[in-house]
């Protein structure tokens, strides 16, 4: 009911009188074809043309990108486009509005960055101060920063300017980067609105509008911001939507914003990457930390991302791991932007073995080499589960996703398996297996709080002293702590 209300606000206002709302207010409405099968035949022809084009695109050199971009791609070793890139880039270059659906880790960022840079290069215009030519709207600071870094990487041989703005830090440097004009602005909704309200930023010259992670935008409560941003944009513009999933709300949003869009769906909604080995370990709540330490002490857990449900749990888990001699950092919404960036950099560079994160990082982190993802707290949303585990097995690698599940989280697991149409393997060969959790009911709404209460019998081979049976939390571990660990 809530989504229906705000989605109604996104629709264009009805004109006076009894005339219907035009399908595309900024474009001339064409008369309907008299033949009943015209649209169907046209769609079939376009589908055949796209399939033929896809067969021909096996390398980036097959795509009509200008030489400076091709040179940058060659320098970073990009040779073969991913399916979403091979499908999306030609359509964007042709000027079509686009709705791109692909699960995380499939290369969505390059799929829109590369053609945008190409279009700007071929249509060189000096940027107007405070008025970007392209706006990329994204939900999190981390994702905004990474998109900005990718733009600089792909456009290093182009005479273009890229800027990024986000909250959590002072605005002066960001305002300065906009003052002389910018070709592409990557922004989070909050800071974008702040600068527009201060008249330090104008959106009236935006030629291309990108809404990245559209479904995540809605999940994070940015509906009102999106509603306020849209009227600031020119009616005549090129719109690109990229989303990992396609719930009904996104379909309605796309209908109201996109003009005759092409739709690309690389994988069905809520599917998981085949290269990820998924496992479930049943455990009582009081022994989750001990099981986590037990796993992280294994040699194969080289770079591990641990997801928790709450901010204070992220801090507590990271602190416990440090005391166990396992280098770790925490990242969540209450952390200052500088601390969050240092934590990500330390994890990327291998200074810490473990990054403990809330769902704010489930799509905002794009780091190669993550060997394991551990769901310390299982998400109650199947789509969030898919996004979380998609942090591993990137760029053709393989990965492992392990979920530590209590009896009260059993309904979450059932929902995930039902949505993804997979039965996740149960691993019992560990010292903290809980039969009571394994045999718990799969019906119900799950725990009121992440993790729930402890139930069932004591794990075999461990004492019952508050779940610290592993040598884990005595601080006597053999691993050295990282000097650059992020503090609270």
Domain locations along the chain: 2-12+39-265, 276-474
Comparing 2-12+39-265 with 276-474, is the CATH topology the same? yes
Residue 366 has what pLDDT? 74
Percent of the chain exceeding pLDDT 70 equals: 76
How does residue 186 score in pLDDT terms, banded at 50, 70 and 90? very high
Cα atoms in the 13 Å half-sphere on the side-chain side of 42:
7
- Eight-state DSSP code of residue 128: B
pLDDT(451) > 50: no
Number of C-beta neighbours around residue 256 at 10 A: 14
The 10s digit of each residue's pLDDT in 289-336 is 999 999 999 999 999 999 999 989 999 999 999 999 999 999 987 888
Number of C-beta neighbours around residue 56 at 10 A: 10
- Residues 6+ positions from 440 with CB-CB distance below 8 Å: 406, 407, 408, 410, 455
State the average pLDDT over residues 277-286.
97
pLDDT(28) > 50: no
Pick the CATH number of 2-12+39-265 from 2.20.25.90, 3.40.50.300, 3.90.180.10, 3.30.300.30: 3.40.50.300
Asked which of 198-202, 364-368, 411-415 is least confident by mean pLDDT, the reply is 364-368
User: Which strands sit side by side in the sheet containing 276-282, from one edge to the other?
Assistant: 328-331, 354-357, 304-307, 372-375, 399-405, 276-282, 425-426
Asked which of 55-59, 62-66, 290-294, 379-383 is least confident by mean pLDDT, the reply is 55-59
The 10s digit of each residue's pLDDT in 435-446 is 999 999 988 656
Asked which of 160-164, 197-201, 356-360, 434-438 is least confident by mean pLDDT, the reply is 356-360
User: What's the pTM value of the predicted model, to 2 decimals?
Assistant: 0.62
How does residue 149 score in pLDDT terms, banded at 50, 70 and 90? very high
pLDDT(416) > 60: yes
Percent of the chain exceeding pLDDT 90 equals: 53
State the average pLDDT over residues 67-95.
93
The position carrying tokens 């709300």 is 249
- Is 318 in contact with 356 (CB distance < 8 Å)? yes
Pick the CATH number of 276-474 from 3.40.50.300, 1.10.357.10, 3.30.465.10, 1.10.1040.10: 3.40.50.300
State the average pLDDT over residues 9-35.
45
pLDDT(472) > 60: no
The 10s digit of each residue's pLDDT in 376-397 is 999 888 878 988 898 898 766 7
How does residue 215 score in pLDDT terms, banded at 50, 70 and 90? confident
CA distances from 432 to 290, 323, 403 (A): 8, 20, 13
Cα–Cα distance for residue pair 123/32, rounded to 1 Å? 33
pLDDT(452) > 60: no
Asked which of 37-46, 54-63, 87-96, 102-111 is least confident by mean pLDDT, the reply is 37-46
Pairing outcome for strands 372-375 and 262-265: unpaired
At 324 the three-state DSSP class reads: coil
Structure token pair of residue 415: 């929902």
Residue 104 has what pLDDT? 63
Max mean pLDDT among 4-18, 32-46, 403-417 falls in 403-417
Asked which of 139-143, 277-281, 380-384, 442-446 is least confident by mean pLDDT, the reply is 442-446
Residue 2 has what pLDDT? 45
Cα–Cα distance for residue pair 50/424, rounded to 1 Å? 36
- Chain centroid to CA 439: how far? 34
Phi-psi region of 281 (alpha: psi -120 to 50; beta: other; left: phi over 0): beta
Average pLDDT over the chain reads 81
Residue 307 has what pLDDT? 96
How does residue 364 score in pLDDT terms, banded at 50, 70 and 90? low
State the average pLDDT over residues 200-215.
94
The position carrying tokens 């398996």 is 417
Number of C-beta neighbours around residue 161 at 10 A: 18
Asked which of 40-49, 335-344, 376-385 is least confident by mean pLDDT, the reply is 40-49
- Is 254 in contact with 403 (CB distance < 8 Å)? no
State the average pLDDT over residues 216-224.
81
């Amino acid at each position: 009911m809530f989504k229906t209300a705000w989605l109604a606000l996104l629709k264009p206002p009805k004109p006076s009188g009894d005339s219907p709302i035009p399908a595309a207010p900024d474009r001339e409405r064409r008369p309907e074809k008299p033949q009943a099968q015209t649209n169907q035949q046209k769609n079939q022809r376009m589908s055949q043309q796209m399939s033929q084009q896809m067969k021909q695109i096996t390398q980036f050199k097959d795509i009509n990108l200008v030489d400076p971009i091709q040179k940058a791609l060659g320098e970073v070793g990009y040779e073969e486009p991913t399916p979403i890139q091979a499908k999306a880039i030609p359509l964007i270059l042709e000027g079509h509005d686009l709705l791109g659906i692909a699960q995380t880790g499939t290369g969505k960022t390059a799929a829109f960055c590369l053609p945008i840079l190409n279009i700007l290069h071929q249509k060189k215009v000096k940027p107007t101060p405070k008025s970007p030519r392209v706006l990329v709207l994204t939900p999190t600071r981390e994702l905004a920063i990474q998109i900005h870094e990718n733009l600089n990487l792909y456009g290093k041989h182009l005479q273009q300017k890229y800027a990024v703005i986000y909250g959590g830090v002072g605005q002066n440097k960001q305002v300065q980067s906009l003052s002389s004009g910018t070709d592409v602005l990557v922004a989070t909704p909050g800071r974008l609105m702040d600068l527009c309200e201060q008249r330090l930023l104008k959106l009236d010259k935006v030629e291309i509008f990108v809404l990245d992670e559209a479904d995540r935008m809605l999940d994070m409560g940015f509906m009102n911001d999106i509603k306020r941003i849209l009227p600031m944009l020119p009616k005549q513009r090129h719109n690109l939507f990229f989303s990992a999933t396609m719930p009904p709300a996104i379909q309605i949003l796309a209908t109201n914003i996109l003009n005759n869009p092409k739709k690309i769906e690389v994988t069905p909604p809520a599917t998981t990457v085949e290269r990820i080995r998924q496992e479930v370990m049943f455990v009582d709540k009081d022994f989750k930390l001990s099981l986590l330490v037990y796993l992280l002490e294994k040699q194969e857990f080289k770079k591990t991302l641990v997801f928790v449900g709450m901010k204070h749990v992220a801090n507590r888990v990271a602190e416990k791991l440090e005391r166990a001699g396992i280098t770790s950092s925490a990242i969540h919404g209450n952390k200052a932007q500088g601390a969050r960036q240092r934590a990500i950099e330390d994890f990327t560079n291998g200074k810490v073995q473990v990054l403990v994160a809330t769902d704010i990082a489930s799509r905002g982190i794009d780091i190669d080499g993550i060997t394991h993802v551990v769901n310390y707290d299982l998400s109650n949303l199947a789509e969030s589960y898919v996004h979380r585990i998609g942090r591993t097995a990137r760029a053709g690698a393989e990965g492992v996703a392990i979920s530590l599940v209590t009896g009260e989280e059993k309904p979450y697991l059932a929902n995930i398996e039902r949505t993804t149409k997979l039965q996740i393997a149960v691993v019992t060969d560990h010292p903290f297996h809980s039969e009571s959790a394994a045999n718990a009911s799969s019906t119900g709404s799950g725990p009121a709080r992440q993790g729930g209460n402890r139930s069932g019998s004591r794990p075999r081979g461990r004492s019952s002293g508050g779940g610290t049976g592993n040598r884990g939390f005595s601080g006597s571990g053999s691993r050295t702590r990282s000097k650059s660990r992020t503090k609270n």
